[in-house]
Homo-oligomer: A and B are copies of this chain.
Amino acid sequence: MRTRFAGVALALALFVPPAFAQAQLITEKKFFTLPQYTTQGGKSIKNVRVGYETYGKLNSSGDNEAAGYWDAIIGPGRAIDTDKYFVVSADTLANLNVKSPTVGTTGPATLNPDTGKPYGSSFPVITMGDSVRVHKALVDSLGVKKLVAAAGASGGSIQAMEWAAQYPEFVERVIHVIGPGLDIHPYVIGLLDLWMMPIKMDPNWKGGDYFGGPEPNEGVAQALKTVTLTALHFGWAEKVHGYKWAAEGKNPADAMNNLFAIEDSLYKTGQARAGATDAAHFVWMAKANQLYNLEKQQAQIKAKVLFLPSKTDMVFPPELSRRWAEKLRAQGNYVELYEIDGTSGHLDGLFSIAKVGEQIKAFLTK
């Protein structure tokens, strides 16, 4: 049975490794534009544009299947079954990968129609709630009348919960994968500050007004390195890198510039990703994450909620999900919680998502 207008809105991870970002190229990207949008902070932005993908159209050839972070659980017959559900996946505002042609996202790098120049530091503060409000206009435009579930990992889990808080009658379920619960913990506010710091230290940063001149690419590479290490875990480092040197014959004990493999590899991965990433978008997005706090909106949430934290997550440890699961249960929400096994920390919400496919599938019928 197809339920084309009872969609699943997917709000995917914010800071993701390149292999996953590239996989997105396989699907056909569309773009949605709002002529005018007013942020939660009361600032007006013209021509707000986000990219999106849909899966699960009446297409029997199967060539429109999902490909992305969650390939393992989205597709015909999979946990999020595109034979059954119409799935929408949309870019956030100020998406990191703005330099990729497949990403539609309004942010500091966008040309301000009033000046013809990039916004830079004049771009307003945005929240994850702002992205969700734009996405609501998008799914309305597609004729969707109700969401079977809002689902996402990390930054996507935040958007999924924002959906439930802002549109309680519209959202039946939330699938909150490697998420913070209903707020960003103060420790993670500090961690996000560390993530931004290398960009702000880059002499090319200029407070976000670098457009037209040299860009803070070194800061972006170092910022992405920082995100990746803190999003991973001891088990991953042991399995993937161990005590290997970065280059044969270059013992790290012999010279200050001789590195271990883990240092070198994380930096090079950061460098490779930096090409598609805009520095200001990174900083605006980190700020949006810091501002996430639904504590006062908790009572509005009516959705059934599935928490799927990763056992070894050091960004949003399972304890946070357990804490918020308890609070939602106490106010009468239907809540399930399963921990994802793995050694990749936060990123097991992407790498190991197949392990909880059955739980997701069952939850969609609860």
> In the assembly, what is the distance between CA of A317 and CA of B291, in Å?
29
Contact B256 A283 (CB under 8 A): yes
Q: For chain A, what secondary structure do more than half of its interface residues adopt (helix, strand, loop), or is it mixed?
A: helix
Among candidates B190, B260, B319, residue contacting A189 with C-beta atoms closer than 8 Å: B260
Binds B, one of A27-35, A71-79, A163-171, A194-202: A194-202
Binds B, one of A5-13, A55-63, A234-242: A234-242
Chain A positions 236-251 with a Cβ under 8 Å from a chain B Cβ: 236-238, 241-243
Q: Mark A185-221, 1 if CB is under 8 A from B, else 0.
A: 1110111011001100111000010000000001100
Q: Is A337 among interface residues, defined by CB-CB distance under 8 A? A: no
Contact B238 A218 (CB under 8 A): no
Contact B190 A263 (CB under 8 A): yes
In the complex, which residues of chain B have a beta carbon less than 8 angstroms from the beta carbon of A233? 187
Q: Is A21 among interface residues, defined by CB-CB distance under 8 A? A: no
Q: Is A127 among interface residues, defined by CB-CB distance under 8 A? A: yes
Among candidates B186, B198, B241, residue contacting A262 with C-beta atoms closer than 8 Å: B186
> In the assembly, what is the distance between CA of A291 and CA of B252, in Å?
8
Q: Which of A198, A237, A253, A255 has the most CB of B within 10 A?
A: A253
Q: Is A293 among interface residues, defined by CB-CB distance under 8 A? A: yes
Total A residues in contact with B, Cβ cutoff 8 Å: 55
Please give the count of copies of this chain that the complex contains.
2
Contact A256 B121 (CB under 8 A): yes
Shortest Cβ gap from A343 to chain B (Å): 11
Contact B291 A253 (CB under 8 A): yes
Contact B290 A260 (CB under 8 A): yes
Among candidates B125, B183, B243, B263, residue contacting A254 with C-beta atoms closer than 8 Å: B125
Q: Which of A40, A127, A201, A252 has the most CB of B within 10 A?
A: A201
Shortest Cβ gap from A126 to chain B (Å): 10
Shortest Cβ gap from A10 to chain B (Å): 26
Contact B127 A253 (CB under 8 A): yes
Contacts A193-B263, A287-B256, A291-B253; is A186 near B41 (CB within 8 Å)?
no
Closest to A241 in B: B186
Q: Is A89 among interface residues, defined by CB-CB distance under 8 A? A: no
Shortest Cβ gap from A195 to chain B (Å): 10
Given A187-B233, A187-B234, A189-B260, 19 other A-B contacts at CB below 8 A? Answer: A121-B256, A125-B255, A127-B253, A185-B234, A186-B241, A186-B260, A189-B262, A189-B263, A190-B229, A190-B266, A193-B259, A193-B262, A201-B202, A201-B219, A234-B317, A234-B319, A243-B293, A253-B291, A256-B284
- A residues with CB within 8 A of B: 40-41, 121, 125, 127, 183, 185-187, 189-191, 193-194, 197-198, 201-203, 208, 218-219, 222, 225-226, 229-230, 232-234, 236-238, 241-243, 252-256, 259-260, 262-263, 266, 283-284, 287, 290-291, 293, 314, 317, 319
Q: List 8 A-B contacts (CB under 8 A).
A: A127-B253, A190-B263, A193-B262, A194-B225, A234-B317, A252-B291, A253-B291, A256-B287
